[in-house]
Every structure is written in structure tokens, then in C-alpha cells.
Structure 1
């Protein structure tokens, strides 16, 4: 089955930019309100404080996957297809992300290989 018009977020390649968070925010088209929610939620999930100027390369692999998931969830995209998202997260963060997904009001496909 082909899923058209979905934002694809693949945990194997979680982020596009290698520079600052602001670049990813532009790619995902997040506004200021969504950015604030993302930054707050990221800190709750990881214990790490970031801002728009944070260097993405300083994040661990798991933190990059969490950031990718939050970028997609808080983006304006109404339909998201996550690939290998849950497999890439530890149980605590997996549960938190699944809760955010359930409460997002978006059409989300979890494709776990």
C-alpha cells in the first residue's frame, strides 16, 4: 500500500541538517508557538535544554530521533509516517512519544520493520 502525501520521518536518518536546530525548524515549517512546545517537550523527555541555535551534531543518536519525532508531531503536516521510530527509543521515551502521537490529532502511521 502506498501512502501519499505523508510527511516521512525515518529514525534511521532522523535529521536533514547537520548545523543548527533552526535549520530543521525551517524544514519542518514550525512556527514560534510550535517551536516553544517542541523545546519544552524535548527538555522533558531528555533533560537537555536546547534552543534554535543549538548545534544538532552535539545530540546523541537517541536525542536526534526524539527531536525528529517532535519536529514531525509539532509540524503543520496533517499526516505523518514514522519509520522505525519506536524501535529506536527506550521504553520510557517510547511511551511518552506514543502518548504525544495519540494526542496529536494527526493521521499517523507507525511503520516498524
Structure 2
């Protein structure tokens, strides 16, 4: 096995395992849809959508590495980049939205100070 075949072997198996996990995520979404709890049911479509996107991304990487199709590998790379950026944006927004704030008004000042 040369350097290139080793990397495609690793990409194949990582994406194969990711496809299995994506199928489990979609199955979890179906399981959530069977509950009467409105909170769980409202998360059904986003969870199934996330599982579907991860499955398609992993499928592109797996087939691209298996058949040595550079177009699919580029698609995989771009999709991976978009998903990672989306995760970072979601994380930052989650911190901004859930932050209770550390600012408080100080009597006699015109601005809010931020201290502990």
C-alpha cells in the first residue's frame, strides 16, 4: 500500500462508519416522531435532515475514495467545509443566545459595566 492508497483506505472506512452513524441519526429522528411530546416532535425534521446530509456527504466521500473519483472527493471536501462552518456558526449563536449576560447597571454611570 502506497501513501495515496493508504489515505483513500482511511477515507473509505471513516466515511463508511459515518454512513452507519447517519443511518442511526435518521432512525433516531423517526423514533422521536413517534412521541406525543411536542418538543421531541418539533426536532424530528431537523434531526432527520442532519442525518440525511451527513449520509450524503459520507456517501460522496466513500464512493469517491473507493472509485478514485476526484469530483466526488472535491464535493465531499466542500460539503465537509460547509458543515464545519455551520457547526461553528451554530455554536457561536448558541452561546450568544443562551448567555444570560454579565453586565449590570452601576448607579451614577451612563453605561453598563461588565464584571463578575
TM range, smaller chain: under 0.3
Higher relative contact order, structure no. (Cα contacts within 8 Å, ≥ 6 residues apart): 1
Bigger Rg over Cα = 2
Query: TM-score with structure 1 length normalisation?
Result: 0.25
Query: TM-score with structure 2 length normalisation?
Result: 0.25
Q: Which has the higher strand share?
A: 1
Q: Which has the higher helix share?
A: 2
